[in-house]
Chains A and B, each alone.
Chain A
Amino acid sequence: MATRTVTIASSVGLHARPAALFVEAASNSGLDVEIAKPGEDPVDATSILGVMALGAKHGEEVVLTAEGDGADETLDSLVELLSRDLDAE
């Protein structure tokens, strides 16, 4: 199982637009991807409501996990996505 920790760069946190882009990317990977705040229960990264309900704010860390072929590559690209200020783009 692959794991990455990343800090949310989006200035307004992981909400509507950044969350949508993230969920879309996670869904397109076809893998079981999960996202969690450190020490908390993970949620399905393909569920936009689950991802938004995390309430991950700007500057907070989240932990991504994935299983299956290409898990590392998938997580790398998701990390890259969350490291950008998606709201400013």
Chain B
Amino acid sequence: MTEQAETTTKPETTTKPETTTKPETRQGIGVSPGTAYGPVVQVAPPVRPPAHEPAVDDEEAALADVKAAFESVAVSLEQRATRVEDTAQQILKATALIARDKGLVKAASKELAAGHGRANSIANAVETYAAQFEALGGYFAERVADLRDVGSRAVAAVLGVAAPGVPAFSEPSVIVAEDLAPAETATLDRSLVVGIITEAGGRTSHTAILAAQMGIPAVVQLPHATQIPAGTPIALDGDSGEVTIAPDMSLVTAQRERAARRKEALAHLSGPGRTSDGAEIALLANIGGVDDAVAAGAQDLEGVGLFRTEFVYLSATRAPTVEEQAEIYRGVFAPFEGRRVVVRTLDAGADKPLKFADLGPEENPALGRRGLRLSAERPDLLDAQLEALAVAARETGADVRVMAPMVATAEEAAWFARRVRENGLPKAGVMIEVPGAALRARDVLGEVDFGSLGTNDLAQYTMAADRMQGALSDLLDPWQPAVLDVVGVACEGAAKVDRPIGVCGESAGDPLLALVLVGLGVTSLSMAPSKVPVVRLALSQHSVAECQALATAARGSRTAVDALHAVRDGARSELTDLL
């Protein structure tokens, strides 16, 4: 309705300068709950050493300067530490310890001796350690931000320029940065910082930990965040990870009210997923590594429905050994002792080529030798992975189930299941993401123990629309009735052979779609962990029969938009009021 009003008055608004950006929504990862709205304050990027810095004449004097620079950084961090509390204080003290580290000065002195200037010697010394931490991965890699912050401050000090960080500002604002260093996060003025957004960072980065502790809504991993001009109004939702640039005020108000209501509704609910009439629908997490596993393991969910294993391979220059893999898998399984972890075996191909198993370029990589098809060409890779998974499963006590990506036929499913069992793993399954496999789910799933619908790829292949092609996003809408039909047929096939079937695509995390999926016969939903609470709520408000009615309404719709509207109108208002 507001849209219409705007359209009719448009010709008269030409006198108003069109400086405001069009509202644009982007998706990041919500790490600290709540909503925020305010102008963007961009954090000054780190100070980099000059490219052509002359070598020093007096090495000793230069070393004294370098020491003094590190010392001044340590002192300023310690001073800040006295002004903050708790975690913030400890982090600042730990960062000050880094600035005082003898090893850093020693490394810098080597760099000076090698003919580098003061600033470059500091930067190089820092990078030697940063590389070591990055190689260690996980928590250690996330400490690299602390180290580089010390380096950048020391470089600024030795060059005599202003320290990097948050510029002075006086109105309540949303802080945006590549990645916030602890010194910056810890000393933020709570009364002025209404929200935090970073382009990098992770669920366990300092930004995430401190923002949650300070109660400041935060989103990390927002694409191109640092390119948003300072002063642009921005709204963020720290639960969903959704960020809207230049939003309409009505959206901001609605978002705020909704968030408050949602918080209230979600506060009283916990435990396994159940429909209002008690049907068990497992609520699971999608994860892509050890950090995700640790974070998800601490949350109220029933396990992992999709563990993507690509990260184990993608940066490797040679095939990772069984022992190297087992070490990683132990780290992923350990937080889930007694809970299920569904592992998807290597899903690589021409679009995500491996250095050690490149089958060459392909005209249509999405339709090429990817997923299980690559495993068929290189069964050695699959066997090593299955062996490592079996070792880690035995040692950790997690309920490990393995599934193959890109299965199209019953023969492929049987081939995979045999290899899984030969490696001593009890449960084999397949992803249902090829429409052909969905249509023949009865035969395909008959060969294995379970199925998991990858709705993103299933939509891509059903609608013949490239997932990477933004212009085709309407075709890829998970509400497309054709996609729901294919899901429905797959569920019917699974029911005929009495095999459980779940969903591990993005649609599982949409509370309305989740109801439709359950209505179609799905018994587990795997999603970004932050989406679990609202899906749990949606299930708790609807019976299986109600879900089936919603599914029928969706499949009875002519278009994707109609399907969404039909379900939104049919779902209980206790839920739709919160969305």
Contact = CB atoms under 8 A, between A and B. Distances in A.
Interface stretch (A1-9, A15-23, A33-41, A66-74): A15-23
Given A16-B91, A17-B90, A49 B139 contact: no
A48 B90 CA distance: 14
A49 B146 contact: no
Contacts of A19: 94
B129 to A, nearest CB: 5
B103 A52 contact: no
B99 to A, nearest CB: 10
Contact of A15 (B104, B139, B294): B139
Contact of A50 (B94, B103, B294): B103
B103 A17 contact: no
A24 B98 CA distance: 11
A16 to B, nearest CB: 5
Contacts of A17: 90-91, 94
Contact of A48 (B94, B140, B294): B94
Contacts of B98: 48-49
Given A44-B102, A46-B102, A12 B139 contact: yes
Contacts of A46: 102
Contacts of A15: 139-140, 143
A30 interface: no
B539 interface: no
Nearest to B97: A48
Main secondary structure of the interface of A (DSSP, over half): helix
Contacts of B91: 16-17
Nearest to A55: B136
A47 interface: yes
B129 A49 contact: yes
Contact of B147 (A20, A44, A49, A55): A49
B474 interface: no
Contacts, number: 49
Counting contact residues on chain B (CB < 8 A from A), the size range is: 20 to 34
B116 interface: no
Contacts of B147: 49
6 contacts: A13-B140, A16-B143, A17-B90, A44-B103, A53-B133, A53-B136
Interface of B: 90-91, 93-94, 97-98, 101-104, 129, 132-133, 136, 139-140, 143, 146-147, 294
Contacts of A13: 139-140
Contact of A47 (B90, B103, B139, B146): B103
Which 4 pairs across A and B sit closest by C-beta, in order of nearness? A20-B94, A55-B136, A47-B103, A48-B97
Main secondary structure of the interface of B (DSSP, over half): helix
Interface string A40-80: 00001011111011010000000000000000000000000
- Of the listed residues A20, A24, A48, the one surrounded by the most CB atoms of chain B closer than 10 A to its CB is A48
Contacts of B146: 16
A8 to B, nearest CB: 12
Contacts of A55: 136, 140
B97 A24 contact: yes
Contacts of B133: 52-53
A55 B135 CA distance: 10
Contacts of B129: 49, 53
A27 to B, nearest CB: 9
A47 B94 contact: no
A20 B103 contact: no
B13 to A, nearest CB: 53
Contact of A52 (B90, B93, B143, B294): B143
Contact of A20 (B93, B104, B139, B140): B93
Given A16-B146, A52-B140, 13 more contacts: A12-B294, A16-B94, A17-B94, A23-B97, A24-B97, A47-B102, A47-B103, A48-B97, A48-B98, A49-B101, A50-B101, A52-B143, A55-B140
A47 B125 CA distance: 14
A88 B93 CA distance: 18
B210 to A, nearest CB: 12
B359 to A, nearest CB: 35
Contacts of A50: 101, 103
Nearest to A48: B97
B140 A47 contact: no
A38 to B, nearest CB: 17
A2 to B, nearest CB: 22
A15 B102 CA distance: 18
A13 B147 CA distance: 18
A79 B132 CA distance: 25
A34 B132 CA distance: 19
